[in-house]
């Protein structure tokens, strides 16, 4: 009988956070197993669609700034190590009314951490970027050092790093059950195989609640639509136009310049449809709002980019009930770690979360204070 391999750390979910964690673990010579229901990068989760924003003055809360600064450093290191283009320095422009809580927190975060941030009035915004049309009461928060992460390229780069350093990847293999009481530590059952590990990291995104039902994780998978629209390159290419976000009351959007003729990309941060991730498919256009809501934002704020739809896609947000991340040890099994609920703003943190999760697994602590992400905050 062949002796069963016992891994130091098994990672269930090799997407954004999981693949990065696998790379950090493998580089430290931990015997690492990565299991994914698909073959990352893929179109079934939260990382596809080519691009993600990275911004440092953080409107979601200044408590994220130290993490995102480290994430930026690690993305640039990954680019240097692999020779893969990861970061595009387009700058990021935030737009909204002067009294927007999100923009005010963006400004407060910049002030607290001494981050370069230009505050612009509507006239100056339109002088610099004539592709925008903004009301007189709007301001802009422009962060020249921010930009775009090429999301699928980043996952491929971490995948290459993990495999090069000895990690094992088992793709296209959904996990059916996780037993945290096994004599080895963890027993992971798929449809046709069983794996054993001393520790486990569950980074399964929208599937986290199904894999860890005992935790009653307060997360909701949500279907989101994003579109690429034909837009004049002389106005909207990355040579002339920044990545952007718009916070106008209950209207929230984000987007990217016209990169290599692909079209201006825009998505909505609000709205979407609650969904079971097992039935999520690429069905952009199923709802009239898929294209309609995006066109409304273009018509209002970038009318010259409101051209023909070049392509539309759907993706999954996994929203926590308070829209902050959930990263913690299992309350009853300290050899189990989970990270989920990244709520549509997590990708930019993928690099640093990989580092954090590897530290939690190997050193039983993180170099960052992540207590704000504890599951305990949801308990009475």
Each residue's pLDDT tens digit, 126-141: 999 999 999 999 999 9
Statement to judge: residues 237 and 316 lie in one domain: yes
C-alpha–C-alpha distance, residues 326 and 318, integer Å: 11
Q: What is the pLDDT of residues 76-135, one digit of tens each?
A: 999 999 999 999 999 999 999 999 999 999 999 999 999 999 999 999 999 999 999 999
In a domain? residue 62: no
In a domain? residue 67: no
In a domain? residue 166: yes
Statement to judge: residues 98 and 120 lie in one domain: yes
Tell me the pTM: 0.96
Statement to judge: residues 173 and 205 lie in one domain: yes
Statement to judge: residues 174 and 41 lie in one domain: yes
Statement to judge: residues 96 and 141 lie in one domain: yes
In a domain? residue 255: yes
DSSP classification of residue 250? T
Question: Of 281, 303, 320, which residue sits at a domain end?
Answer: 320
User: How much of the chain exceeds pLDDT 90, in percent?
Assistant: 94
Residue (of 184, 209, 186) closest to 338 by Cα position: 209
In a domain? residue 360: yes
The Cα-based distances of 345 to 44, 46, 293, 333 in angstroms read 17, 10, 20, 28
Q: How many structural domains compose the chain?
A: 2
In a domain? residue 246: yes
Statement to judge: residues 182 and 302 lie in one domain: no
Query: pLDDT tier at 2 (50, 70, 90 boundaries)?
Result: very low
In a domain? residue 292: yes
Question: Of 305, 320, 335, which residue sits at a domain end?
Answer: 320
Phi, psi of 138 (to 5 degrees): -80, 155
Q: What is the CATH number of the domain that holds 210?
A: 3.50.50.60
Q: What is the pLDDT of residues 207-231, one digit of tens each?
A: 999 999 999 999 999 999 999 999 9
Question: Of 320, 337, 358, which residue sits at a domain end?
Answer: 320
Statement to judge: residues 241 and 305 lie in one domain: yes
DSSP classification of residue 80? H
Structural domain boundaries, residue 167: 6-46+152-217+323-378
> Are 315 and 49 contacting, i.e. CB atoms less than 8 angstroms apart?
yes
In a domain? residue 1: no
Q: What is the pLDDT of residues 5-26, one digit of tens each?
A: 999 999 999 999 999 999 999 9
Q: What is the CATH number of the domain that holds 243?
A: 3.30.9.10
Statement to judge: residues 132 and 115 lie in one domain: yes
Residue 11's CB is within 10 A of a number of other CB atoms, namely: 34
Statement to judge: residues 255 and 107 lie in one domain: yes
Name the token pair of 180.
């945290």
Name the token pair of 247.
């916070």
> Are 58 and 110 contacting, i.e. CB atoms less than 8 angstroms apart?
no
């Amino acid at each position: 009988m062949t002796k069963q391999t016992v891994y130091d750390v098994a990672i269930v979910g090799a997407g954004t956070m999981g693949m990065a964690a696998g790379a950090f673990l493998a580089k430290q010579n931990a015997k690492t197993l990565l299991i994914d229901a698909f073959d990352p990068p893929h179109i079934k989760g939260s990382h596809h669609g080519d691009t993600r924003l990275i911004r440092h003055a953080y409107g979601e809360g200044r408590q994220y700034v130290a993490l995102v600064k480290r994430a930026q450093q690690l993305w640039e290191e990954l680019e240097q190590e692999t020779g893969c283009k990861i970061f595009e320095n387009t700058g990021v422009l935030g737009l909204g009314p002067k009294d927007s809580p999100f923009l005010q927190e963006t400004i407060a975060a910049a002030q607290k951490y001494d981050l370069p941030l230009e505050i612009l009035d509507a006239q100056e915004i339109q002088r610099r970027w004539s592709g925008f049309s903004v009301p007189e009461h709007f301001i802009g928060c422009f962060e020249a050092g921010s930009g775009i992460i090429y999301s699928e390229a980043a996952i491929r780069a971490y995948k290459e790093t993990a495999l090069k350093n000895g990690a094992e990847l088992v793709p296209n293999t959904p996990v059916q059950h996780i037993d945290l009481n096994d004599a080895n530590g963890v027993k992971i059952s798929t449809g046709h195989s069983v794996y054993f590990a001393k520790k486990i990291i569950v980074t399964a995104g929208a599937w986290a609640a199904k894999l860890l039902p005992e935790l009653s994780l307060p997360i909701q998978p949500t279907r989101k639509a994003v579109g690429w629209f034909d837009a004049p390159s002389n106005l909207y290419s990355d040579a002339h136009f920044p990545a952007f976000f718009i916070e106008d009351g209950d209207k929230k959007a984000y987007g990217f310049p016209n990169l290599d003729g692909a079209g201006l990309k825009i998505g909505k941060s609000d709205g979407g449809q609650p969904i079971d991730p097992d039935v999520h498919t690429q069905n952009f256009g199923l709802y009239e709002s898929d294209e309609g809501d995006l066109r409304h934002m273009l018509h209002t704020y970038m009318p010259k980019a409101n051209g023909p739809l070049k392509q539309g896609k759907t993706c999954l947000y996994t929203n926590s009930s308070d829209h902050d991340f959930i990263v913690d040890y299992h309350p009853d099994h300290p050899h189990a770690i989970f990270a989920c609920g990244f709520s549509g703003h997590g990708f930019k943190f993928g690099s640093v979360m990989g580092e954090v999760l590897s530290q939690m697994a190997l050193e039983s602590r993180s170099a960052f204070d992540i207590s704000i992400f504890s599951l305990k905050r949801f308990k009475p």
